[in-house]
Homo-oligomer: A and B are copies of this chain.
């Protein structure tokens, strides 16, 4: 199938996807019969460009590398904003990767609604819209016969949502627990090596894992958003932010870590949810002292992991990266290939 893509937002993740698409153009055509052109890009900081016949994406990447803007591209229509690009171009798939407020879901949510109403497929790594109203978005997309793909919102390109949907199909998935935040797992890994919390956080900040204000990671807010998403999407139970108990890692001391070591255990920040016998959900984010025999206990550094509780297979765990330019760009490719596989 041949698709025309428009990028809404063109930061690190969009450039990561573009690199993959450029390097793998022949491979994707040959193996999956997937062909594409990028017809438009609209980025609130870097400008916009539209050419219905397609853009030279090598040239776009090269412009940005030289510190230039997207609207320095020599040809094409300039100045279309996000919504105009979604509505008034010939793109049939919208790649939505704007900077979005994770609590309100804006502006991504507006972009997703606009794309669906325009009858265009949408793939996005933005968590906000999924946390806020995933079920109604999926329903809305189905009604408009388009696909809304969001594999990248949990564990980046590590394909947890597709694993649950396709590879574990036929199971009743009744719960999950996981290491959903790479930054805190990095910090805990350093603390296992006797570094104290402050130094470990500083190191994480130096490496770009943690932001200057690390609250979102270390207080468990990022993991909490992912628990909400997984509960809604994989367990099929509607919950929101307020329904998840939350405790971060800021109170864990090197003494706690040493004590756990003595007991043959290891502290991890675990996001989990399980469906209780009355049908309600017990969802939480908290540090848990795991037995070393737990597959999650051996997951160190900024790696993520997720264990699903299934009725036919018991626990099934997947371990992989939770962030990164190419890794998150690749999550969008999974969604694009799903659209292609379904011949939508």
Contacts and interface: CB of A to CB of B under 8 A. Distances in A.
A125 to B, nearest CB: 14
B337 A170 contact: yes
B20 A158 contact: no
B316 A317 contact: no
A330 interface: yes
Given A293-B300, A317-B318, A312 B170 contact: no
Given A20-B312, A312-B157, A170 B28 contact: yes
Contacts of A329: 312
Interface stretch (A83-91, A113-121, A248-256, A320-328): A320-328
A318 B341 CA distance: 23
A196 interface: no
Interface string A164-205: 001111111000000000000000000000000000000000
Contacts of A135: none
Interface string A287-306: 00000111101111100010
Q: How many copies of this chain does the complex contain? A: 2
A79 interface: no
Contacts of A316: 158, 318-320
Candidate in A169, A327, A329 with the most chain B CB atoms within 10 angstroms: A169
Interface residues of A, number: 45
Contacts of A299: 295
A322 to B, nearest CB: 10
A169 B317 contact: no
A334 interface: yes
Contact of A298 (B162, B297, B321, B327): B297
Contact of A313 (B163, B293, B301, B320): B320
A202 to B, nearest CB: 22
A292 B341 CA distance: 39
Contacts of A298: 292-295, 297-298
A315 interface: yes
A247 to B, nearest CB: 24
Given A298-B293, A320-B313, A162 B167 contact: yes
Given A298-B294, A330-B170, A314 B321 contact: yes
Contacts of A24: 170
Nearest to A189: B293
10 contacts: A24-B170, A27-B172, A159-B168, A295-B298, A295-B299, A295-B319, A312-B330, A313-B320, A315-B319, A316-B319
Interface of A: 20, 24, 27-28, 32, 157-159, 162-163, 166-172, 292-295, 297-301, 305, 312-321, 326-327, 329-330, 333-334, 337, 341
- Please provide the 7 A-B residue pairs with the shortest distance between their CB atoms, ordered closest to farther: A298-B298, A159-B167, A317-B319, A312-B330, A316-B320, A162-B167, A170-B333
